[in-house]
Amino acid sequence: MLSFFGRGRSEKASAEPAGPVWAVGDIHGCADLLKALLVQIFAMASMDRPTRIIFLGDYVDRGPDARAVLDLLIELQSLERVQPTFIRGNHDFMMQEFLLKPEIGPAWIGMGAGPTLASYGVAPPALSVSPQAWRDTQARFADAVPQRHREFLDSLEPSAVEGGYFFTHAGVRPGKPIDRQRASDLMWIRSAFLDDKRRLGKTVVHGHTVTTDPHEDHRRIGLDTGAYASGKLTAVCIEGASRRFLQVKRTGPSSIVPFWDVSSSALA
């Protein structure tokens, strides 16, 4: 069995997606940035083939419009010339868990769930350590979340592969082949992946860890630019051997500006 990691012979064709593939970093409730980014992507869409977009997870929490973000992403699934894939992030996982387990409420609120609850018209409990208060909040939240949103969260994928690229939310556990990656690592891993310097059999495209600008080196591409705090949502377009970065940035209350080629690091 071929290992996903380590040295190995790879054909050039297998390392390059057949057509352009977009990957979008962590959205975190920023529906306005998502809309602006999609406008830019669709403006460059080819009439000859569908637009392939992979979303890297963390659609909810911290930003103000989690409900609107999920509505937008669900709408994309109905468009004929769009082929979206939706990866599960750790924040999306926590929202799913809270719909089933009110006892995780304190942990989730510590991760920035307040704006997500508010986007569904639910206030977090005043006594955030009270089990009964969280049971009451969870019941109101469960009533407020539409079935289509539950189904969307249930359908999220742990990862996707296109050519020589592996797309996931947080990263991978170095030294493990692709078919042995744990879902928890794909959603939560950080330093064990980021600090490892070994080359990987595929380039890992991920979010989860915030950087001022998108990160690019010989083993990974990081696209989480902290949209909820920085006002910057970032994507990469991979076509053949080329990679181009697109970013939309909020420059005022009603102004969002696109920027191309915003990568901060050269290939090493």
**Single-letter amino acid code for the residue at 55:** F
Classified as helix, coil or strand, 220 is strand
pLDDT of amino acid 15: 58
Q: Please answer whether residues 120 and 67 qualify as being in contact, where contact means their C-beta atoms are separated by less than 8 angstroms.
A: yes
- Residues 214, 264 contacting (CB under 8 angstroms): yes
User: Hey, what are 45's tokens?
Assistant: 């869409």
| pTM check: above 0.85 | yes
Between CA 12 and CA 162 the distance in angstroms is 13
Domain 17-260: CATH architecture, name and number where available = 4-Layer Sandwich (3.60)
pLDDT, position 199: 81
Q: How far apart are CA 100 and CA 98, in angstroms?
A: 5
Domain coordinates of the chain in residue numbers?
Answer: 17-260
Contacts of 12 by beta carbon, 8 Å cutoff, 6+ apart = none
Residue-level pLDDT at 8: 31
Q: What is the pLDDT of residue 5?
A: 32
Specify the 3-state DSSP secondary structure of 193.
Answer: helix
Among 146, 169, 166, 149, smallest CA distance to 158 is for 169
Q: Which residue has the tokens 């059999």?
A: 201
Q: What confidence score (pLDDT) does residue 166 get?
A: 96
> Which positions ≥6 away from 248 have C-beta within 8 Å?
33, 36, 37, 40, 232, 233, 256, 257, 258, 259
- Return per-residue pLDDT of the chain as tens, 268 residues: 223 333 232 333 345 666 799 999 999 999 999 999 999 999 988 777 889 999 999 999 999 999 999 999 999 999 988 999 999 999 999 999 999 999 999 999 999 999 999 999 999 998 767 899 999 999 999 999 999 999 999 999 999 999 999 999 999 999 898 878 999 999 999 999 999 988 888 999 999 999 999 999 989 999 999 999 999 999 999 998 889 999 999 998 778 888 877 765 433 3
